[in-house]
Amino acid sequence: MLKLCLLILFFFAAKINTVFSQPQQSNIQAFLHQPDKYVTSEVFDIGKVRDLTIQITKAKNLIDSKTLNGVRLSYKAINSSGKQFGYIDADEIDALINAMEDMNANIFNKEPSSRPTDNFEYHYSCRSGLNIGGFSGFFSGTYGKMTWNQYVMFSETSSDKIIISLANFNELKSILSLAKEKMEAK
């Protein structure tokens, strides 16, 4: 009986470890890298915000003609030899844009009297692990006052949190809206 209990416990521990150790993947990433597929992909530049490049990725399975679209953000990290990529599935874009609009209207653009007094963070997480949001904290040039700092982070485990200005945050939101329109038109 003890052996059976230990075997069941081992099985569940192995299953939990498998679930938590799998990397996050968007639908477009899974589609592009799925085995037994003959896939082509096209990547179109749509805009650039600071060091971030925003592109539309259109993938097609040449066997069954199934297509999938998404947005790809890329960034050349200073401490890395390659680029980092973050994907946003087409069905995530509306929710991301809505979250960015809400953060902009109800959090980042509040009156100076409502500056953050504690550490807070707001972000939208995409399936791929890409996070876009903002956090309150001290930042150079704020002279001891807490301010909102907007960011893009390519994965929850990444040490690279790309700090962008509020103007860059709004520009990114506009480019994502444009990407959504272009994907719907194609």
Tell me whether residue 8 is in a domain: no
pLDDT at residue 3, as a whole number: 57
Tell me whether residue 53 is in a domain: yes
Strand partners for 47: 54
111: CATH: 3.30.2450.30
Tell me whether residue 85 is in a domain: yes
80: containing domain? 23-185
Copy the structure tokens of residue 124: 């939208």
Mean pLDDT, all residues of the chain: 81
Tell me whether residue 10 is in a domain: no
Mean predicted confidence (pLDDT) in 4-17: 49
Mean predicted confidence (pLDDT) in 58-82: 87
Instruction: Report which of 88, 82, 50 is spatially closest to residue 70, judged by C-alpha positions.
Output: 88
Query: What tens digit of pLDDT does each residue of 106-127 get?
Result: 888 776 555 666 777 889 999 9
Tell me whether residue 112 is in a domain: yes
Domain count, the chain: 1
| C-alpha to C-alpha distance for 33 and 38, rounded to whole angstroms | 10
Q: Is the pLDDT of residue 90 over 70?
A: yes
Mean predicted confidence (pLDDT) in 53-79: 90
Tell me whether residue 123 is in a domain: yes
pTM, two decimal places: 0.79
Tell me whether residue 161 is in a domain: yes
pLDDT at residue 37, as a whole number: 82
| Of residues 75 and 22, more confidently modeled | 75
Tell me whether residue 2 is in a domain: no
Q: Is the pLDDT of residue 64 over 80?
A: yes
